[in-house]
Amino acid sequence: MIIFKTVRSLRQYLENNQGFQKNAGFVPTMGALHSGHMALIEASKKEQGFTIASIFVNPTQFNDPADFAKYPVTLENDIQQLEAAGCEVLFLPSVKEIYPDGVRSNFHYDLGDLENVLEGFYRPGHFQGVCQVVHRLLEIVSPAHLYLGSKDYQQCKVIGKMIALTGLKVQLHMVPTVREESGLALSSRNMRLSKEEREQATSIFRQLRIIGENIGKSPIADLREQATRNLLADGFRKVDYVAIADRQTLQPVLQYTPGIQLVALIAAFMNEVRLIDNMELA
Ligand code: AMP
């Protein structure tokens, strides 16, 4: 695997090897890699062959400075995993490389209501920051394929919209969420949980399953209330949302109608660690 730290050196390499990496898959990450990230690398390797990963902890998508400061960094381990998976290129830029004119941007992506619900509501400015960095990375790397995890469901929809708005020529692939045997979705933030908290955190997956089993049988409001009560009883300190939403628009759905394509989404705090997860409902 070749590691590039500057835009210039990466661009030069890509331009010199255009035939070789014509249909490259790109996997942007913030590092602290786990099997969830590696599933994206594996999907790209399998479907496209040539794979480029990036590790960049993007300051503009953190609305909570403490969360940014505490974001785990495990670079040596990350590089080993990427090497073992056969990733060809790792882009490891500094903040200055990504934002040579400073992190502030006056550019606004018109994400419409996608930005006002769920994560967008609880993390103001988050998705503008996500679009800013992914747009910049896509311009630098210019891949044919982009691999994202369904774990960040709303992020996938937002980036899909950004791609449509900007006219970038890249195909988006959503990779299913990788979970521990307990059902807990793998996340870099899980490193900040104690053993006991990790066990308690499995409640999110249980609540998603309960919603999945009862959708169409019980009123949506009751399912959401019950899940919130269960999360709090199981040790979560605060529940930001338990939502049942339209899969495309992510607008909340208040009443079930047969055939409707729904997704259940949860965000809740285990002490100071905010966890999110989701499940598409059959
Ligand atoms: P992050 O490093 O958290 O920005 O994540 C980088 C990419 O990995 C994003 O597209 C995430 O959705 C994806 N990802 C994170 N956790 C998982 C997981 N448990 N399963 C599948 N993909 C994941």
Q: How many A from CA of 88 to the centre of ligand 1?
A: 19
**Ligand 1 atom nearest to CA at 186:** 19
Count of helices and strands (H, E) across the chain:
11, 9
Between CA 214 and CA 273, with CA 238 as vertex, the angle to 5 degrees is 105
pLDDT value of residue 18: 83
Q: How many A from CA of 258 to the centre of ligand 1?
A: 31
Token output for 96: 């200055």
pLDDT value of residue 181: 98
How many Å apart are CA 240 and CA 266, to the nearest integer? 8
Q: How many A from CA of 37 to the centre of ligand 1?
A: 5
pLDDT value of residue 22: 82
For residues 160 and 112, the answer to whether their CB atoms sit within 8 Å is no
**Which listed residue (34, 37, 126, 145) is catalytic?**
37
Would the CB of 38 count as within 6 Å of ligand 1?
Answer: no
Would the CB of 175 count as within 6 Å of ligand 1?
Answer: yes
pLDDT value of residue 105: 81
pLDDT value of residue 232: 98
**Ligand 1 atom nearest to CA at 155:** 12
How many Å apart are CA 236 and CA 245, to the nearest integer? 22
Of 147, 189, 142, residue with least CA distance to 40: 147
For residues 243 and 252, the answer to whether their CB atoms sit within 8 Å is yes
108 catalytic? Reply is no
Would the CB of 189 count as within 6 Å of ligand 1?
Answer: no
For residues 125 and 150, the answer to whether their CB atoms sit within 8 Å is no
**Ligand 1 atom nearest to CA at 150:** 12
Residue whose CA lies nearest to ligand 1 atom number 22 = 149
Token output for 204: 């999110």
pLDDT value of residue 87: 98
pLDDT value of residue 167: 98
Would the CB of 25 count as within 6 Å of ligand 1?
Answer: no
Would the CB of 148 count as within 6 Å of ligand 1?
Answer: yes
pLDDT value of residue 99: 96
Q: What is the mean pLDDT of each run of 10 residues along the chain (282 residues)?
A: 98 89 94 98 98 97 90 96 98 97 89 96 96 98 98 98 98 98 96 97 98 97 98 98 97 94 98 97 92
Would the CB of 156 count as within 6 Å of ligand 1?
Answer: no
What is this structure's pTM? 0.97
Q: How many A from CA of 20 to the centre of ligand 1?
A: 27
Q: How many A from CA of 216 to the centre of ligand 1?
A: 30
